[in-house]
Amino acid sequence: DAKTTQPTSMDCAEGRAANLPCNHSTISGNEYVYWYRQIHSQGPQYIIHGLKNNETNEMASLIITEDRKSSTLILPHATLRDTAVYYCIATRNTGNQFYFGTGTSLTVIP
Amino acid sequence: GAVVSQHPSWVICKSGTSVKIECRSLDFQATTMFWYRQFPKQSLMLMATSNEGSKATYEQGVEKDKFLINHASLTLSTLTVTSAHPEDSSFYICSARDTRYNQPQHFGDGTRLSIL
């Protein structure tokens, strides 16, 4: 599975869009990009995933570059409850083992 | 939908005892379940993958005789930490997935294990 690289931490003002980048330059053609978040002392929560097209759901949008070497998770209107560690994972859908990196600790500031 | 329940959420026991943790998918069938361990201020580490009805596949460095995994039904997997010692104290998290429907992994809320 491709290694992912994320910034260690980010701040975002409440109500503004939070843009969380992820680098996965060694991703292969059959690997998906998954995003999860973990609020302190809880299990990770699924946010969104995609292969090559941009995706949007009720929680977030996922923008994947045309060469698939990086992606951005967008939380359109961040709230205090979005403060969490966000993980970007690249993995094949068969098997689907997740090897978590260190993630990005997002702090939403009032 | 896609709820995964883990039990117990918190357990304290004496060194040398064995502890069983249950992971249940409540509203879907989990053809594959995963077990992770997380130490304080660290990321999740995959311990093993189990497919229903098959033996679990353990990640390198994880002792299969120490961490016994059973996935006998499509809704239940168990992790037994045998002869637990203080160094086994950690946050154990399971996840479940129905691979037949290209479903993402859904995680339980974890079990905090403290060995005295």
The residue whose two tokens read 């918190």 is: B10
- pLDDT tens for A9-55 read 999 999 999 999 999 999 998 999 999 999 988 999 999 999 999 99
Residues of chain B with pLDDT under 70: none
- Condensed to tens digits (0 to 9), the pLDDT of residues B19-49 reads 999 999 999 999 999 999 999 999 999 999 9
H helical segments located in B3-71: none
| The predicted structure's pLDDT at residue A27 | 93
In one-letter notation, the amino acid at residue B20 is K
Kindly state the tokens that stand for A79: 């709230």
Chain A nearest CA to B37, separation (Å): 11
Cβ contact (<8 Å) for A101 and B102?
no
Give residue-wise pLDDT tens across range A53-82: 999 999 999 999 999 999 999 999 999 999
| Joined tokens for residue B107 | 């995680």
Task: Find the residue in A nearest to B108 (Cα).
Answer: A43
Residues whose CB is less than 8 angstroms from the CB of residue B69 and which lie 6 or more positions away in sequence, other chains included = B35, B48, B50, B56, B77, B78, B79, B80
3-state class of B7 per DSSP?
strand
Instruction: Look at A46 and B97 and tell me if their CB atoms are within 8 Å.
Output: no
Q: How many CA atoms lie within 13 A of A110 on its CB side?
A: 0
Q: pLDDT tens digits, residue range A78-98?
A: 999 999 999 999 998 777 889
Find all residues with CB under 8 Å of A76, minimum gap 6, and list them: A17, A60, A61
